[in-house]
Each structure stands twice: as structure tokens, then as C-alpha cells.
Structure 1
């Protein structure tokens, strides 16, 4: 309850244009740090990620296919931590950095097109199903996504039950589960707040203080919602980088 109260207070802090310290660079940086520390306090392992630079990415990769959406280091899986002091050190060293959260350790993420996510939220609410943290990722109209944070399936005893994060990255999976990706072992997502090229943002819709639901309680509704919008959605093929195996 204390964590929930603290996160709610952070969300109510003044934002740009509302007056107060948030109208200054220091105030905005402080609010951003608070939100990242809230994610770490919720048990989400964090690691530094690239950020927008001009029209591209802060990394030195020419023609980066996932600008501002990937970890800085190939060692991100071992770097990822919930240690607040380490997160503060990274922020001091690179104030503009985005952050990723490594999935399959403390949580998984069900990643769907934004339209499908909004429909699923409505249906889940009507059914009285508890939804955990939810983030929105708005890059452009064809790449807007909604991220549903869930408990992790970890390493099931039956290896056949493992559902890899590459689900739906390949055409043969589209008929069965159109538009949905399950980020688990060896994957990651950007954690709010994050900036994308242009005016894109990753932001919390429902904060990380919420309990993590079992992913299977959301899966059918999310899959059905994705199927409804499959005909109008242009599939987003940007692969996570760098990916582990």
C-alpha cells in the first residue's frame, strides 16, 4: 500500500506547463528519476538504453533499425538491476538515456497494437479482470503499442510451454495470434518514461505499483482483440536489438 501511495504522489507532481519545479529542467529530471525508481522499486530490472539524437539514435550504429529502443550494452541482461543507487549513477552519467526493463526475470510483457489494447482493457474491465501495470508506446499511428506487464512464467518445467518473445515476429504465427508479442526470457521493453524519435513517448497508463497478474488471465482477451484489428494494422517488424538467445 505504501508503494502504491508513493507512486500516486509522483504521478500527481506538477508537469511541464503546470507551474512549480517541473517547469525547470531540474524539476523534470527529478520527476523522471522518481518514475524510474518507482519501476525499480516494483521489482523491474532496469538497464540503460539509447535515446533520440536528432532524427535518429544516440548509438553509433549507422542506420540503426530501432532508434532509441535498444539497450546501450550487449551485456544488458547481466546489467539489469533494481538497485536504486545504480539507477541514479546511470542517470547522472547519461541524463538523456532511456531505460529498458529485462523481462523473464520478475515480469513478462504482453505487447499488442494500441487499438487492440484499448479494446482489451475495456473488455477486461467489464469482466472484472484485474489488470496490472500498462504502458503505452506511441511512435506513430502504425507503430503505437500497448504493453501489459504480467507475472513471469520464468522457466516452466515443461519446456514446450515456453512461449518465446519472437512470437508473431514471423508470418507463420500471424493467423493464430495476430499482432501479439510475449516478451519473456532474453527480451526487454522500454520502461516509462522514455522518449522516441519525433514526438514519440513511452508512458504509464496504469502504474507499476499494481500487482502483476498471471499472463494467462489476459491472453485470450488480448488475442481476440488483436484478431479484430489484424486486417487494419500494419505489422510492426522492428526486431529487438541486441537480442539474446
Structure 2
């Protein structure tokens, strides 16, 4: 399973992870039953899911020549309307495509603050030490850390929502090495997922944690990104609402 799937003993396991000694029961050993359990737990926490591609050899399971994001994109162009928390549908998808990754569509129920992993590790340690409420947190490979938060734009706030394209787009992430705010029109891989090169996406703090307001985390994350030299100038933040 992930680094932390429950509250009991969670702080010590997070501390172990932050010190660089990650437990062995990580996402790369999740079997089919464990994979389905983790996906259903995410859906049960309100994260809408849709099937995604998966790594295939040195490339992607999709038929796109030179896929720029192998194993990291939805399989359907209708992923925003397809995304669901319906348990039966997710079970059907998971069992019919046992190698598939899954994405969660952001900006409907939740947003994701996506930062370089070194900055995220420092920020998480500081957040926990300060007693700030932190929601689910995942790591993506060795490069990024994902902080799941409540959304700042919902269908009930159509005049205020901030489309993710004003920050970055899922297929142009390399142009945004610092903090990325995934909101309406974006997605991230949800654990457990496999990336090229035997890397994984896994939970540090599982989806059983409540979703905090993103603004409660933003100061810590932007400060850590700036100190690690990963925050680009001129990025727009969806602060309205």
C-alpha cells in the first residue's frame, strides 16, 4: 500500500519517509486487490476517477506516436464527463483493464497543488510541525509531490472559476517546473499508478484525510518552492472566491 493508509502510527511513517527511508510496502508492490481497494478508497473520498494509459515497454499503451506523457493521460477525450465516484463503474474499469492507471479530474471536488518533491518534503514537514491541517498527499515518481485540497472553483461559482490553462496544461508540464495549481480542466494520476522507468505514484497521506482550503497550504508551499529555486515568476493563482 502507500506510505500511510491510516491514521494510526502515521506521523512516524511520514517522518521516516521525509528522512528518505521509505517503507518497502510501497505502490510498486500493490497487487490487483490492493489496487482496486485504493482506487475505491479515493472514489469513496469524493475524488472522481477515469481510466488512464499505462507504461508499455519504453512507451505508452496508447497508439499515439511519440506520446509526450506516456502512462500519464486519460484514455478518453471525454475524461471530464466520464470521471465518476461510482463504485460499480470503477470496479468494472479496474477489472477490465488490470494494467490501467487512473486519473482524478480536478476542479470539481478537489484541486491539487503540485510541487517539486524536495520542496514538498520540506513544506510537509513544516506544515505538520506547525499543526496545519493537511489533506491527502501523494508522490509522483522521484520528481513531484501532490497536495490534495478542496477546490476553489465549483459549478456553483461559474463566474469565478479559474481554468487550469491560465497556469499550465497537463501535457505542457515541463514548462512549469515550480508550483502548479491543478483546478478546472486538469487532472493528476491517482495512486496507485505506474510511470515509465519503474517509478510509481503513491500516497504519503491517504484519501481518508479531509480536504483543506488550498490557501492554508499555499504560503508554506510557495516559500519552499522559492527556497529550492523551483518557482517561476509570473504564475497566476486562482485566488478568487
TM-score, length-normalised on structure 1?
0.76
Q: CA deviation at 1:126?
A: 2.0
Structure 1 match to 2:84: 81
Structure 2 match to 1:147: 146
Pairwise mapping of residues 1-245 of structure 1 onto structure 2 (< 5 A)? 8=6, 28-138=31-141, 140=142, 144-155=143-154, 162=162, 164=164, 166-167=166-167, 179-230=178-229
**2: distance between equivalents of 1:158 and 1:108?**
16
Question: Could you say what the CA RMSD is over the residues aligned between the two structures, in angstroms?
Answer: 2.7
Asked if the contact 1:49–1:99 (Cα under 8 Å) also holds between the matched residues in 2, the reply is yes
TM-score, length-normalised on structure 2?
0.77
Asked if the contact 1:102–1:188 (Cα under 8 Å) also holds between the matched residues in 2, the reply is yes
- 1:210-240 CA distance string (max 9 Å, x none): 0100000001110010011116x99xxxxxx
- 1:54-94 CA distance string (max 9 Å, x none): 01100000000000000000000010000011001111221
Asked if the contact 2:114–2:144 (Cα under 8 Å) also holds between the matched residues in 1, the reply is yes
> Which runs of no fewer than 5 residues in structure 2 stay unpaired?
8-23, 233-241
Asked if the contact 2:49–2:104 (Cα under 8 Å) also holds between the matched residues in 1, the reply is yes
Q: CA deviation at 1:8?
A: 3.1
**2: distance between equivalents of 1:87 and 1:127?**
37
**2: distance between equivalents of 1:91 and 1:201?**
17
Asked if the contact 1:165–1:184 (Cα under 8 Å) also holds between the matched residues in 2, the reply is no
Q: Find the residue that maps to 1:39 and give its secondary structure.
A: helix
- 1:108-150 CA distance string (max 9 Å, x none): 0000000000010111122210100000001x5xxx1000000
Q: Find the residue that maps to 1:8 and give its secondary structure.
A: coil
**1: distance between equivalents of 2:103 and 2:180?**
16
> How many equivalent residue pairs?
205
Asked if the contact 2:52–2:75 (Cα under 8 Å) also holds between the matched residues in 1, the reply is yes
**1: distance between equivalents of 2:226 and 2:81?**
36
